[in-house]
Every structure is written in structure tokens, then in C-alpha cells.
Amino acid sequence: MANVFLIDLEPVETRYTGQWKSHVPELLRKAGHNVQVISGPEDIPSATTPGAFLNFGGTNIYKSSQVEWMGRLFCSGSVHPGDHFIFTDAWHPGIINLKYMSELLNVPVTIHGLWHAGSYDPQDFLGRLIGDAKWVRHAECSFFDAINHNYFATDFHIQLWSDCFLHPDAKKSLMMSKKIVKTGWPMEYLKDTLVPYSNLEKENIILFPHRIAPEKQLDIFRDLAQALPEYKFVIAQDQQLSKHEYHTLLGKSKIVFSANLQETLGISCFEALCVNAFPLVPNRLSYTEMYPSVFKYDSRWTQSFDSYLQFKDRLVEHIRTIMTEMDGALHFEKIIQTRELIHHNFFSATNLLENIK
């Protein structure tokens, strides 16, 4: 049995991480561990920075409060050798503070960090706006080195990191030593959460569930809407929906569409499977390893808007075919099979829990 300190993410209504405050501690307690959740203040700005998952100012208020809490735990003698600290976001300056206290006070702890994005991803905010500036690259390397187990949800994400920071021969040894770990995100609850929306009557809706950000290529979706007026194209973030309203819309949709240029996991497409909708995704990014061929289209069709225009007729015809066949049993069976496989491999905390002993 281990003592585990969980450094959580600030909860945002439109995100998937609010449940981690209760779900991850529950998983850890079921495994026999003692768990303490280290949170930040509730009065931080709630509105996310446009196109982002969080508020760039508010997240620093939240994380700074967590650093103070960790410092007080060390000062009070509440941290002991062998304890575990799980950072649900590895892009956290507190990792350096923790390592500083652990080593200078001679209280060795094991640090776990879940990577979501960073400057190493050219399509992420850090990659687009800051790029390869030395300060950000050195910071990410420092976080990585301080963390004992770095978790990535997909092989694609591991490769993205490796291409930026590692010698080609280093990745294999780091995975063998569990410095790098491929693990599903701790989201076992997601499938059960969506069960009430899985039997809603389908409408001729094609849904864009993603953030409105350049790497999501919303312009392609808007152009498809003009080319396919017989279907209803809906941009979820244009609707200002609650989670219940969004899930209801998702459950009524036939297709969830992606032309994304950034996706290290892709939660909304898995949500589509959970409500028996069809995720239509390009054969690139994390989608390549996650989805069977029936759900993937030629990556060239949406590699850019110019490329889309070149292949537009093929994509339009492909969408018409899927919408026509959605009422048949074949697609439904494939959706169920794929849902179970992806849930097991990419939305489970099994590999994370194995490293906490």
C-alpha cells in the first residue's frame, strides 16, 4: 500500500478532467492506496482562453496554490520516503519545486506525470506561439527528467515527443525502464456516462465536436456543409451547450467529423462510438493506431484546405455513402467492436496503476 498525492487539474465544465478529482482517487483507493488530492482555489477565472483547454492566467493561480500546499506538506513532515506524486498535467512548474524539496530534504518520492501537449507539438498553443524557444524546450526537458514515469496516451504522442527531444536509439530503452509509459487516460467512467445517450433516435446530423482552433480546420467543415445541404452540419462550440445538451446532440448525430492536424488521443471521437455515432477521421495522428480502416479516410483529403479542394469530391461522396449506410447492421457492429477495443487500450488507467507500489 502506497501513499499517493494527486495533483489535479483545475475543473472546467467543457473539459473531460473534472471527473479526475473523484474518479482517479477512487481507482487508487480500490487498489489499496492512501490518497490525498492536492487542488487549487475554486475562484480562478472559469472562462478558457479562446481555442484552449484552460485559462492561461487562471491555471497559474491554480498551480501556484498547489506548489504552496506541497511545500507545507514537506514542512509538516507529511511526506515520507517512497510516497508517490501524480501530476495529472505534466506541464506543471510544481514538478521542479517537488524535485527540489525531495532531494534537498532527502525524502525520495516517485513522480508520475501525464503529458497532454507542449512546444514539441507544432500544432499546440506552445508549439504555435512559442515554438522552439530555449526556455520552453529546456523547461519540458527538465519536467521530463524530474518525472520518474512519463505517461503518454498513444504511440503517436510518444513519437512526437521523441522526434523533438530524443536520439532515435533512446526511446526503446526509456520505455523498457518505464521512464516513458504508454497508458490510456484514466477515463473508465466515460463509456458508462454516455449510456443514457446511446439509444437516441439518429438524425441526419454531422457534428464538429472540437475546439475552434486552427489545427481543427473548421473551414473544411464549413465548406462541406455547403456541398452537402441535405444534412445538418453542427459546430458544437457555436451552441454554448451544457454537457447534457452536448451529449444529447452527440447521441442524435450520425457522424462525428475530424480533419484535425493535432490529435494525441481524440476523446470526442471515442465519445461518438459510445453513443453509436460514426467517427470519420483522417488516417494520421493518433487515429492511425486507434481506428480500423472503415472509420479512416485518406489523409491527403484534408491535409490542408488546398489539399481538401483537390480531393473534395471524394470526401463528399464518402460522407454520402456513410450516411446512407448508417442504418445498416454492419456499421453498428463495427462501432461496438471498436468501442470496446479503444476503451480497453486508450481509456483505462491500468498501466498507470501498475507503477504505483
User: Which residue ranges of the chain lie beneath pLDDT 70?
Assistant: 12-17, 46-54, 328-330
Same domain, 106 and 137: yes
Which of 145, 146, 154 shows the shortest CA–CA distance to 182? 154
Distance CA 92, CA 94 (A): 5
202: domain range? 190-345
What tens digit of pLDDT does each residue of 278-317 get? 999 999 999 999 999 999 999 999 999 999 999 999 999 9
What pLDDT sits at residue 168?
A: 82
What pLDDT sits at residue 18?
A: 73
Cβ atoms within 10 A of the Cβ of 29, count?
12
What tens digit of pLDDT does each residue of 36-92 get? 999 999 888 765 555 555 678 888 999 999 999 999 999 999 999 999 999 999 999
What is 263-309 written as a DSSP string? -SS-HHHHHHHHTT-EEEEESSTTHHHHS-GGGEE-GGGGSSHHHHH
Strand partners, 150: 113, 180
Same domain, 180 and 194: no
Same domain, 41 and 100: yes
Cβ atoms within 10 A of the Cβ of 148, count?
18
Same domain, 155 and 198: no
What pLDDT sits at residue 328?
A: 65
Contact 301, 278 (CB under 8 A): no
The structural domain count of the chain equals 2
Residue 206 is part of a domain; what is its CATH number?
Answer: 3.40.50.2000
What pLDDT sits at residue 84?
A: 98
Which of 11, 40, 13 shows the shortest CA–CA distance to 24? 11
Same domain, 143 and 244: no
Strand partners, 235: 208
At residue 133, the 3 state secondary structure works out as coil
Contact 198, 184 (CB under 8 A): no
Same domain, 165 and 35: yes
C-alpha cell at 305: 484546405
Who's near 150: CB < 8 A, 6+ residues apart? Answer: 90, 113, 115, 144, 179, 180, 181
Same domain, 324 and 270: yes
Same domain, 177 and 200: no
Q: Measured at the alpha carbon of residue 119, what is the angle toward residues 308 and 236, in degrees to the nearest 5?
A: 50
Same domain, 141 and 222: no
Contact 217, 302 (CB under 8 A): yes
Distance CA 303, CA 164 (A): 22
What pLDDT sits at residue 22?
A: 86
Same domain, 163 and 202: no
Same domain, 138 and 102: yes
> Rounded to 5, what percent of the chain is helix, strand, coil?
50, 10, 40
Same domain, 24 and 164: yes
